[in-house]
Amino acid sequence: MEAVLSAGQTQPVTLTAEELCRRYSASVCRFAAIVAPNTGEAEDLAQDALLRAIRAIDSYDPRRGTPEAWLWRIVVNASRDAARRRQRMGWLIDRIGLITPRETDSVETLALERLRDADLVAHLRRLPERDRALLALRYGLGLDTGEAGQAVGLSADSAGKAIRRALARLRARLEVSFREP
Amino acid sequence: MSLDPLEQRLTHIELETPDPGRVSARVLTLRPKARRVSVFRVPAVGLGTIALALAVLYFVPAAAAALAGVPGGGDLLREAGLAGAAGKVTTVGAVAESSGYRITLVGAYADSERTVLLLRTSPSATPDFATMGLTDQFGRSYPMQSGSSDGRTGDLILQFDPLGWPDGTTGARVTLRLNSVHRFAYDSAARDWRNGPPVAGTWTLQASIGIDEAVTLATPSAGQLGGVTCTFGAARASAATIVIDVYMHGVTPDQLEQRIPDGGKGLPVFQLLLIDPSGDVVTQSYGLSPASQTSDGTVIHLVGFRSVPGNYTVRVVYQGVELDRVLRVP
């Protein structure tokens, strides 16, 4: 079970399951840590995503894009399915109403200064599934909007807008939590 | 392009990530092995079938008594939504004692939608969910969906995600581990049941659970709710659970989550109910999220409790209009 990867590389590289894990497991784990609701589920998601990628390794076609784009589509689909399983059973459904984002930099800056990373991740994990995936791809993995969009089935332009909306929703949450006693 | 403060924080956020080395090791162990063509393919399939049959015999407890025979077991079954599955609940009886707390795994039930553990605690206690874990014989962990406890009796019901493959076919040997509990007692000043401070300990309880197979039900016919078409997908019922997919065409999850202003919190614009033959609402859960969105609308997975055979009603309410469809459940 292996695939020849040549996109973006001068020499074709044969990617085995071991190579795929070696190259990408850290990034997949980072993505999972952002989108999953807790560390236990993050581990399950990372495992599931990598297993799916290994099972599909023969289907990778270098003519259709980079190995990273192929992999992130699989990883995002795995996270989407995991979210669907959770949603099916009606748990972790956050019914907080959508708050109109207000751009108040001073409040945001103040809130961010006081906010621990763990709290920021907690707020991030309460965002809708697609928002989490986009922010994880864009900021957690450092993909550009085009690459992030490709993974979730959006154009670069639409992905940029979706990321801005996701940021606005996150800001709104931070602002509410900051204003609450 | 410059990043604003929030984007900068997100870019450099410190995360508690799973250990890539451990995940890789597990993935490489679990990966599918390359198939070898064999002239003994047909005998191999036969042997595989025999092995699977043996596995089923190994995992499904041979003498699973009905929990209804256990004193107070009937209440536990009703509370857990297992009233219709008394004969399918495996009596376990495993006991673990630590730090003065005795926890008994009274019974267990699993179908394609949920895995339910019925426990008794003495004195009455609730687990610390953050340190609790359910795993199967393959080391896979199952997230908890919901839990409830009765401080008067010490009854504790924990519901987890459904078992994965091949557990879902063969049954599973599961292990529940608790590392901390809270004394659950009545606070007369607050007039309510409250959790006390955490009590550390080690409670490990094991059970072999068979899977209650679901049957496929006839799909109800489509209908109209105002200008919206509602269709139904796969419907299944096990002894304890009824599930059906409901499709709302041309509307998004966001639209279904809207509320009709009523001067207060507002009324939900969309509701989905499962009603049993005696008229009681037996909806367990349904949820809406962006993941519910399909190419032409929204799909909602409805889960409800089955208590008796008969005609169950699926009621879809949208913008004040009701659509009822009957599910004939054996």
A117 and A153, same domain (yes or no): yes
The average confidence (pLDDT) of chain B is 79
| Alpha-carbon gap, residue B230 to B299, rounded angstroms | 10
Encode pLDDT of B276-320 as tens digits: 998 888 888 877 666 677 777 888 888 899 989 999 999 999 988
Closest chain A residue to the Cα of B292, Cα to Cα: A84
Please count the other Cβ atoms lying within 10 Å of the Cβ belonging to residue B330. 8
B180 and B246, same domain (yes or no): no
Encode pLDDT of B96-148 as tens digits: 999 999 999 988 999 888 899 999 999 989 888 888 999 988 888 888 887 77
The position carrying tokens 């784009």 is A69
Helix (H) or strand (E) holding B159: strand B155-160
Angle in degrees, CA B225, B226, B229, rounded to 5: 50
Please count the other Cβ atoms lying within 10 Å of the Cβ belonging to residue B89. 30
Contact A21 B24 (CB under 8 A): yes
Q: For residue B307, give its domain range.
A: 215-329
**So what's the pLDDT on residue B31?**
60
CATH number of the domain enclosing A29: 1.10.1740.10
The domain total for chain A is: 2
| Alpha-carbon gap, residue A163 to A139, rounded angstroms | 10
| Alpha-carbon gap, residue B178 to B211, rounded angstroms | 24
Between B73 and B155, name the one with better pLDDT. B155
| Alpha-carbon gap, residue B88 to B75, rounded angstroms | 16
A74 and A111, same domain (yes or no): no
In this structure, is residue B144 part of a structural domain? yes
**So what's the pLDDT on residue B74?**
59
Tell whether the model's pLDDT for residue B274 goes beyond 50: yes
A76 and A111, same domain (yes or no): no
Cβ(B303)–Cβ(B286) under 8 Å? yes
Over pLDDT 90: what percentage of chain A?
1
**So what's the pLDDT on residue B71?**
46
Encode pLDDT of A26-54 as tens digits: 889 888 888 888 777 888 888 888 888 88
A167 interaction partners in chain B (CB closer than 8 Å)? 6-7
Residue in B10, B18, B286 nearest the CB of A42: B18
A80 and A112, same domain (yes or no): no
B239 and B196, same domain (yes or no): no
**So what's the pLDDT on residue B313?**
95
Of A62, A88, A114, the one marking the end of a domain is: A88
Over pLDDT 90: what percentage of chain B?
30
B143 interaction partners in chain A (CB closer than 8 Å)? 40-41, 86
Encode pLDDT of A82-106 as tens digits: 776 665 443 322 222 222 233 334 5
B67 and B204, same domain (yes or no): yes
Helices A67-88 and A145-152, packing angle to 10 deg: 50
B186 and B288, same domain (yes or no): no
B221 and B299, same domain (yes or no): yes
B223 and B203, same domain (yes or no): no
B26 interaction partners in chain A (CB closer than 8 Å)? 47
Of A88, A122, A153, the one marking the end of a domain is: A88
B243 and B151, same domain (yes or no): no
The domain total for chain B is: 2
B176 and B70, same domain (yes or no): yes
**So what's the pLDDT on residue A62?**
75
Q: Is A77 on the interface with B (CB under 8 A)?
A: no
Q: For residue A36, give its domain range.
A: 2-88
Among A5-19, B81-95, B148-162, name the one with the lowest average pLDDT. Answer: A5-19
Encode pLDDT of B169-214 as tens digits: 677 889 999 999 988 887 777 777 778 888 999 999 999 888 888 8
Of B191, B209, B227, the one marking the end of a domain is: B209
The average confidence (pLDDT) of chain A is 73
A116 interaction partners in chain B (CB closer than 8 Å)? none
Angle in degrees, CA B37, B38, B39, rounded to 5: 135
**So what's the pLDDT on residue B221?**
94
Contact B7 A55 (CB under 8 A): no
Encode pLDDT of B207-226 as tens digits: 988 888 889 999 999 999 98
In this structure, is residue B10 part of a structural domain? no
In this structure, is residue B31 part of a structural domain? no
Tell whether the model's pLDDT for residue B69 goes beyond 80: no
Of B180, B209, B238, the one marking the end of a domain is: B209
| Alpha-carbon gap, residue A26 to A28, rounded angstroms | 5
Q: Is A83 on the interface with B (CB under 8 A)?
A: yes
B224 and B199, same domain (yes or no): no
Among A3-17, A161-175, B99-113, name the one with the lowest average pLDDT. Answer: A3-17
A115 and A83, same domain (yes or no): no
**So what's the pLDDT on residue B161?**
86
In this structure, is residue A58 part of a structural domain? yes
From B165's Cα to the closest Cα of chain A, the distance in A is 13
Q: What is the pTM of this model?
A: 0.52
B92 and B203, same domain (yes or no): yes
A109 and A164, same domain (yes or no): yes
What is the token pair recorded at B230? 């509602």
CATH number of the domain enclosing A159: 1.10.10.10
What is the token pair recorded at B272? 């989905």
Tell me, what's the ipTM? 0.73
A84 and A109, same domain (yes or no): no
